[in-house]
Amino acid sequence: MQLFLNCYQISLCPPGGLVLWHMLTHPPTRRALTVGCGLQMFQQLSGINTVMYYSATILQMAGVRDDKQAIWLASATAATNFLFTLVGVWLVERVGRRKLTLGSLMGTALSLTVLAIGFLLSAQHSPAVTLHPTDTSLNSTSCTLYGSCQPCMLDPDCGFCYRENGSTVYNSSCIPVNQTSTDEAAWGRCSNLSQVSDGSLWAYNYCPTSYSWIVLLGLILYLAFFAPGENNTLSPFLPH
């Protein structure tokens, strides 16, 4: 709204005139519009909607196997966004919008790097497939061709069946998922987990990893840096 007021105050926007054209041709309003639109573009390109709406899914893909735990951790990230938005309101008049915005941009880039490193480490240390079916008739599926959990997890038709001793994964295999339920395999020891007594675990859409905490740290840092700056500095530039 401030952009329109400035435009009218300098008498460049007569009633019924091309407001947008005058905003683009008048240097002060053009600069403000460019900065505001640039911040809005970066806000979307940085993935804020993905982080807020799919944080539980991101955590599950990072190796958090329990659905309830993933939801509670996602709630923690949402609470981070709320709390640091209030921090931004407190800081904006003390350090200024410019410093707050620049700090937010640099912190967001840093936290996205941490998030990427977490997934990269998980992929590089993905558990290997150690068991392959001896029945040759079962080798027709692509799942049996994968050598580790990472490509197996990326295939929507496959899942990772394994046993675990502490942080050590063993007796692992990539098996086709049951077409009627992704909670179990199509065949083998993970095909009916309610009757399995050997401690086998079924992982669909994630791989067991010890680097889940890095992804969680990246999400929290992302919102801690994003909320104070970009959530609180767009209003002076863009009309509402």
DSSP string, 139-207: GGSGGGG--BHHHHHHSTTEEEEEEEETTEEEEEEEEEBPTT-TTSBSSSTTS-GGG--S--EEESS--
Q: Are residues 30 and 143 in the same domain?
A: no
Q: Evaluate if residue 238 carries a pLDDT over 50.
A: no
Distance CA 107, CA 33 (A): 24
Q: Are residues 13 and 35 in the same domain?
A: yes
Report the predicted TM-score, pTM, of the whole model to 2 decimal places: 0.75
Local confidence band at 110 (pLDDT 50, 70, 90 cut-offs): very high
Domain boundary among 29, 45, 61: 45
Domain annotation covers residue 150: yes
pLDDT of 234:
53
pLDDT of 113:
94
Average pLDDT over residues 18-30: 78
Q: Are residues 119 and 161 in the same domain?
A: no
Number of compact structural domains in the chain: 3
**Residue 173 contacts residue 200 (beta carbons within 8 Å):** no
Q: Could you report the per-residue pLDDT of 197-226, keeping only the tens digit for each?
A: 668 889 898 899 889 899 999 999 999 998
Domain annotation covers residue 131: no
Domain annotation covers residue 214: no
Q: Evaluate if residue 173 carries a pLDDT over 80.
A: yes
Domain annotation covers residue 11: yes
Q: How far is CA 43 from CA 32, 40, 66, in A?
A: 16, 5, 31
Most confident of 32-36, 121-125, 184-188, 227-231: 121-125
Q: Could you report the per-residue pLDDT of 121-154, keeping only the tens digit for each?
A: 998 999 999 988 776 566 667 888 899 999 999 9
Could you tell me the two tokens for 62?
A: 């990072």
Domain annotation covers residue 183: yes
Domain span including residue 149: 136-208
Our measurement of the distance from residue 44's CA atom to the centroid of its chain's CA atoms, rounded to an integer in Å, reads 13
Q: Evaluate if residue 3 carries a pLDDT over 50.
A: no
